[in-house]
Amino acid sequence: LTYYTPEYETKDTDILAAFRVTPQPGVPPEEAGAAVAAESSTGTWTTVWTDGLTSLDRYKGRCYHIDPVPGEEEQFIAYVAYPLDLFEEGSVTNMFTSIVGNVFGFKALRALRLEDLRIPPAYTKTFQGPPHGIQVERDKLNKYGRPLLGCTIK
């Protein structure tokens, strides 16, 4: 199961992430990008008996493009596409836990940073928002003009 798929054409329904990746010495950019896609989606370090019950190809993240960072010899931008089927509808927490959770401690990488994220309208429409409305939450927190996110990222 390969997670580096440069031939992959993104879909309008994919969640697209751009990660700034600094691989460990000797780790090629393609391998580092594939590791990010795997670790933040369906990849695991062991054989799982349930692998035979479903097509992981339907759920896996795919590193579909890698660009060097201008002026930074050892850094790359890895572009990863995630299918909507990977995530629970209406759960920002589930999405962020998967995409930016455990992956930041991955040993193949010296450093990793989420630079950009595109969430398709098909997924954002499933978010209910706060039960009393966003203005009530902003007034309680005295926070305006920026996104608010409250979840535990593991």
Domains of the chain, CATH where assigned: 15-129 (3.30.70.150)
Mean pLDDT of 23-41: 88
List pLDDT tens digits, range 92-141: 888 888 888 767 667 778 899 999 999 999 999 998 888 898 999 999 99
Beta carbons within 10 angstroms of residue 83's beta carbon: 17
Whether the per-residue pLDDT at 31 is higher than 70: the answer is yes
Q: What pLDDT was estimated at residue 82? A: 93
Rounded Cα–Cα distance for residues 133 and 137 (Å): 7
Those residues whose C-beta lies under 8 Å from the C-beta of residue 102, and which sit 6 or more positions away, are 39, 40, 154
Contact in structure between 40 and 111 (CB atoms under 8 Å): no
Looking at per-residue pLDDT, the higher value among 102 and 14 belongs to 14
* pLDDT at residue 77 tops 70: yes
Residue 84 pLDDT > 70: yes
Q: DSSP secondary-structure letter at 141?
A: H
